[in-house]
Amino acid sequence: MQITYLPADETDIAPILEQSQALVERYEDFSTIDKKEVFSWLRRKTEKRIGEYTRILCDGETAGWIRACDHGEKLELDDLFILEPFQNRGTGTAVLQKYLAESEKPIFFYVFARNSGALRLYERLGFRVRERVGETRLIMEQMPGKQESPLP
């Protein structure tokens, strides 16, 4: 498996938005937030920030997208989407290991508390819950130099 990266472009907006909406649909509690408002915000964010996304390719095929945001003291992995055919094949692990190896800053991200598959992956890579955000999300973080956590 060879993973390469390309800058995302306008053609990536629709599939990124589809992945974002599917994730929110699956894990968010719509009794506390307005679904239409959230989806509208996702659209605006994706369209405005498409130049900040990176397309992830696995053996030449689009396998997903990631957006990393430098916050000065820390690096945020804002969006990480691995398409279903590339899940459970080490793709997400390889992408995260790349960012962990290259970053000299602590890395953090938001994750849905009920997304057990993602939580297992992140914990296996040494990320720990730093804080709970509302009822549905967590902030996880890993400090640089800890990426050598053992993998199965």
Q: How far apart are CA 132 and CA 3, in angstroms?
A: 32
Say if residues 112 and 143 touch (Cβ distance below 8 Å): no
Find the domain containing 55 and state its range. Answer: 3-142
Q: How far apart are CA 66 and CA 12, in angstroms?
A: 11
Q: Does residue 52 sit within a domain?
A: yes
Q: Does residue 128 sit within a domain?
A: yes
Q: Which amino acid is at 91?
A: T
Q: How many domains does the chain have?
A: 1
Q: How far apart are CA 27 and CA 30, in angstroms?
A: 9
pLDDT value, residue 143 = 66
Give the pLDDT of the chain (152 residues) as one tens digit per residue: 899 999 999 999 999 999 999 999 999 999 989 999 999 999 999 999 999 999 999 999 999 999 999 999 999 999 999 999 999 999 999 999 999 999 889 999 999 999 998 999 999 999 999 999 988 999 999 865 544 433 33
Q: Which contiguous run of DSSP H or E holds residue 74?
A: none
Q: Does residue 32 sit within a domain?
A: yes
